[in-house]
Structure 1
Amino acid sequence: MRPYELTVIFPLEEDLYQEGREHLLTDLKDHGAEIEKTDEIGDRDLAYEIKKRRRGRYVLFTLKLDPAKLQTLDRVFKLNTNLLKYLFVRIEE
């Protein structure tokens, strides 16, 4: 298990945000991720338009995950329409 930071941008609409967050947490737990910390950064302007949206809700997750499952999670997240963007970054120990 390696430590990662996962930054996710959700839509601003509360129902889309809640639904996207629930799917994301379920997908992470199904793939054996251990969520250590969750930071809600808040609503911010996007640098460029994503799926016809100019603003998004940023959330930062600190988690531990098996590196072999990272590619599978990437495919699963692409199917979640309530995620505007996401980025996994490995934390150096």
Structure 2
Amino acid sequence: MRQYELTVIFPLEDDQHKAGREQLLADLTANGVEIEKTDEVGDRDLAYEINKRKRGKYVLFTIKADPEKIATLDRIFKLNANIVKYLFVRVEE
């Protein structure tokens, strides 16, 4: 298993934020991902407008996962309407 940082931008609306976060956590655990740490970064301006949104709630996850699972999660997250944007970054050990 490799270590990754997953940065996720959720919508500012509380109902969409909670639904998106619950779905994301369910998807991670269903795919055997180990969540080591979660950091709420807070509300921030986006670098550019995405889906007519200028702000979002940023959350940073430190996870351990198999590389094959990252590709699967990428496909799943694209279908989640409650995620504005996400990014997986492999952490060098």
The alignment status of 1:60 with 2:60, answered yes or no, reads yes
Query: Aligned AA for 2:85?
Result: K
Q: Which stretches in structure 1 are left out of the alignment for 5+ residues?
A: none
Query: Aligned AA for 1:19?
Result: A
Where 1:82 maps in the other structure, the secondary structure is coil
Query: Aligned AA for 1:62?
Result: T
The CA distance in 2 between the partners of 1:45 and 1:76, in whole Å, is 25
What corresponds to 2:9 in structure 1?
A: 9
Residue-by-residue CA offset, 1:6-39 (whole Å, 9 max, x unaligned) = 0000000000000000000000000100000000
| TM-score, scaled to structure 2 | 0.99
What corresponds to 1:78 in structure 2?
A: 78
What corresponds to 2:51 in structure 1?
A: 51
**Corresponding residue pairs, total:** 93
The sequence identity of aligned pairs, in percent, is: 72
Query: Aligned AA for 2:15?
Result: D
What corresponds to 1:20 in structure 2?
A: 20
Where 1:39 maps in the other structure, the secondary structure is strand
Q: Which stretches in structure 2 are left out of the alignment for 5+ residues?
A: none
What corresponds to 2:30 in structure 1?
A: 30
RMSD: 0.4
